């Protein structure tokens, strides 16, 4: 990682917590400041593994929890190799909507956390991870109102466990911030900007 000069900023949280909304707002703000931003997300929808993930999450194929988590790793390997690492070497700012914390938070519902952490140990560590803290009830309300079919992890019990797991792993890494995501979009955005400014200094 000696040549890594860019910055990797990651958004995390349960589905419906508002990551995509905040990632877009941050991109827009930084572009207006003159930065060139790469906004990307996981799963990527580009790797062979991501096609399999999509089929599993949409209940079209079955897999064990371990198989599913390993597919996220395969997809991340593709993402890091093809996009994230080259962009970091070129000193770009990358905003990534989900990264390895999603493996921990979603995966640890059914798999061992130590195993999930070990699978991720060779990936670039984000310069900043912002975890949106939103209750399962609010997440589900937002998911339902966006009107697409509900996916595998989108029920109250799982959304709650995902949030618990995020809170459990957050202190294990540096540069991780929990942000209250139940406030108005603009208030959250302003708090995120304060954090991001410190990281980009
Ligand atoms: P995620 O990417 O975490 O699944 P999205 O950013 O797609 O979540 O947001 C899910 C829905 O909730 C969207 O319809 C979005 O407009 C809405 N939303 C996002 N953030 C907030 C917020 N702070 N307050 C109210 N609604 C929000």
Q: Is the CB of 20 under 6 A from ligand 1?
A: yes
Q: Is the CB of 17 under 6 A from ligand 1?
A: yes
In this prediction, residue 93 carries a pLDDT of: 96
Examine residue 45 and state whether it is found in any structural domain, yes or no.
yes
In this prediction, residue 1 carries a pLDDT of: 43
Write the residue with the smallest CA distance to atom 19 of ligand 1: 18
Q: Is the CB of 13 under 6 A from ligand 1?
A: yes
Could you tell me the CATH number of the domain that includes residue 76? 3.40.50.300
Backbone angles phi, psi at 173, to 5 degrees: -130, 160
C-alpha dihedral over 145, 162, 156, 13, to 10 degrees? -20
Domain count of the fold of the chain: 1
Centroid of ligand 1 to alpha carbon of 192 (angstroms): 15
Per-10-residue mean pLDDT, the chain, length 201: 77 96 98 95 96 93 97 98 96 97 97 97 97 95 79 83 97 96 98 93 78
Q: Is the CB of 18 under 6 A from ligand 1?
A: yes
Residue 22 belongs to domain spanning = 7-200
Q: Is the CB of 193 under 6 A from ligand 1?
A: no
Write the residue with the smallest CA distance to atom 20 of ligand 1: 18
Examine residue 64 and state whether it is found in any structural domain, yes or no.
yes
Examine residue 67 and state whether it is found in any structural domain, yes or no.
yes
Q: Residue 35: which H helix or E strand, with range?
A: none
Examine residue 1 and state whether it is found in any structural domain, yes or no.
no
Examine residue 37 and state whether it is found in any structural domain, yes or no.
yes
Q: Is the CB of 80 under 6 A from ligand 1?
A: no
In this prediction, residue 150 carries a pLDDT of: 67
pTM (two decimals): 0.94
Q: Which two tokens stand for residue 201?
A: 């200094």
Examine residue 2 and state whether it is found in any structural domain, yes or no.
no
In this prediction, residue 146 carries a pLDDT of: 76
Examine residue 105 and state whether it is found in any structural domain, yes or no.
yes
């Amino acid at each position: 990682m000696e040549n890594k000069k860019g910055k990797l900023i990651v958004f995390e949280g349960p589905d419906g917590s508002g990551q995509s909304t905040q990632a877009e707002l941050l991109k827009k703000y930084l572009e207006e400041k003159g930065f060139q931003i790469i906004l990307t997300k996981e799963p990527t929808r580009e790797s062979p593994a991501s096609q399999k993930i999509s089929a599993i999450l949409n209940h079209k194929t079955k897999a064990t929890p371990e198989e599913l988590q390993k597919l996220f790793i395969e997809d991340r390997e593709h993402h890091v190799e093809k996009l994230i690492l080259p962009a970091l070497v070129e000193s770009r700012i990358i905003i990534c909507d989900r990264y390895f914390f999603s493996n921990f938070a979603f995966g640890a519902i059914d798999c061992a956390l130590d195993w999930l952490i070990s699978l991720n140990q060779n990936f670039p560590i984000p310069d900043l991870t912002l975890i949106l803290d939103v209750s399962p009830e609010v997440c589900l309300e937002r998911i339902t109102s966006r009107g697409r079919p509900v996916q595998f992890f989108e029920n109250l019990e799982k959304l709650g466990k995902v949030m618990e797991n995020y809170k459990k792993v957050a202190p294990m890494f540096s540069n991780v911030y929990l942000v209250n995501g139940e406030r108005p979009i603009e208030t959250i955005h302003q708090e995120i900007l304060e954090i991001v400014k410190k990281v980009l200094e």
